[in-house]
Amino acid sequence: MDRPFIFINSAMSADGKISTWQRKQVRISGAIDFDRVDRLRCGSDAIMVGIGTVLADDPSLTVKSVQRKIERKEKGFDENPVRVIIDSQARTPIDADIFKKGEGRRIVVVSSSAPSENVKALRRKAMVIIAGESRVDLPDAMEQLYLLGINRLMVEGGATLNWAMLSSGLVDEIYTFVGNVIIGGQVAPTLVDGEGFKDTSTLPLELISAEKIEQGILLKWKVLNFQ
Ligand SMILES: NC(=O)C1=CN([C@@H]2O[C@H](COP(=O)(O)OP(=O)(O)OC[C@H]3O[C@@H](n4cnc5c(N)ncnc54)[C@H](OP(=O)(O)O)[C@@H]3O)[C@@H](O)[C@H]2O)C=CC1
Ligand SMILES: Nc1nc(O)c(N)c(N[C@@H]2O[C@H](COP(=O)(O)O)[C@@H](O)[C@H]2O)n1
């Protein structure tokens, strides 16, 4: 199957949480890491999140640096990479910041069971593509994104989408900034949630690098997907 190069980027607390038990966004990293994330966004063809993240955080997923936006324009790209939402039932609010902020294309990936009135409303804001019957079929979605010209895809969470992508063998690398805070909470989302692997199965990783940034550490991992 042809698909883009796919990496996850996430900020997590020292105890592995990516937000609070109420799914409220918290500041985990500082200015230097936010700038690193901005550089990653700028260098990607698309940035993808799950509907859970849209509903919890209402992110814009835009490139923030004016200079980087100019550089993208000079290369003939939109200021922002394509913004992609994985949303089986087309629940994305039509006034979401992803639609309101910044120029560039938006794609909502829905399943064929998404209510048609929701899909119709979203088509006024974004390109809507269909993959899967009751839930978005991620391998199919990745192939469709590739055919639309997306070669480098950045996944910005959340926990459920990270699991689904990793457990489907769709992730090449993971970048985690581990910040100097504890969030705690049994139900607070972690880097990877979902149902977890069966028995003692695990997904092996290879460490690419570990770099201290301010009071945290940036870990880069290669995912050793099973062939
Ligand atoms: N610190 C950080 O770097 C980041 C933190 N976050 C945090 O993560 C949390 C959100 O994570 P979470 O609630 O897990 O939501 P996600 O963003 O992971 O979205 C999950 C949803 O995606 C939809 N989906 C569609 N197809 C699939 C599929 N094949 N497999 C799995 N899911 C699918 C499902 O909804 P449906 O069935 O309706 O389609 C599912 O509930 C927030 O609290 C946010 O603050 C988010 C991003 C970055
Ligand atoms: N890298 C990083 N560090 C933190 O400390 C964070 N809290 C996050 N959060 C995620 O970034 C998204 C916001 O994007 P926009 O600023 O709206 O473009 C959002 O989804 C957060 O969960 N990331």
Interface pTM (ipTM) of the complex? 0.97
Q: Give the Cα separation of 226 and 133 in Å (integer).
A: 26
Ligand in nearest proximity to the CA of 114: 1
Q: Which ligand is nearest to the CA of 161?
A: 1
E strands present in the chain:
5-12, 46-50, 82-86, 106-110, 127-130, 152-155, 173-178, 205-213, 216-223
What's residue 227's pLDDT? 63
Distance 153 CA to ligand 2 centre (A): 17
Ligand 1 contact via 33 beta carbon (within 6 Å): no
Is residue 172 packed enough to be buried (19+ CB in 10 Å), middle (13-18) or exposed (0-12)?
middle
Which tokens is 58 given? 């209402």
Which residue's CA is the nearest one to ligand 1's atom 6? 158
CA atoms within 13 A on the CB side of 13: 17
Number of residues in the chain: 227
Contact 211, 45 (CB under 8 A): no
* 3-state SS assignment for residue 172: coil
Among candidates 61, 62, 52, 60, which has minimal Cα distance to 18?
52
Please identify, by atom number, the ligand 1 atom nearest to the C-alpha of residue 53. Answer: 17
- Give the pLDDT of residue 129: 98
Which regions in the chain score pLDDT beneath 50? none
Q: Do residues 213 and 36 touch, judged by C-beta distance below 8 A?
A: yes
pTM of the model: 0.97
Amino acid letter, 196: G
Spell out which residues line ligand 2, taking CB within 6 angstroms: 11, 25-29, 33, 37, 53, 57, 59-62, 156, 177
Taking the CA of residue 62 as reference, the ligand 2 atom at the shortest distance is: 18
**Which-ligand-closest: CA of 56?**
1
Instruction: Compute the distance between CA of residue 2 and CA of residue 140 in angstroms, rounded to an integer.
Output: 10
Collect all residues with Cβ–Cβ distance below 8 Å to 78 and sequence separation of at least 6: 72, 103, 104, 105
pLDDT for 1 equals 80
> What whole-number distance in Å separates Cα of residue 99 and Cα of residue 58?
10
Query: Ligand 1 in contact with 136 (CB < 6 A)?
Result: yes
Q: At what angle do helices 31-42 and 66-74 cross, to 10 degrees?
A: 10
Distance (Å, whole) CA 120 – CA 92: 12
Per-residue pLDDT, 33: 97
Domains and CATH numbers, the chain: 5-184+202-223 (3.40.430.10)
190 lines ligand 1 (CB under 6 A): no
pLDDT at 53: 98
Q: What pLDDT score was predicted for residue 89?
A: 98
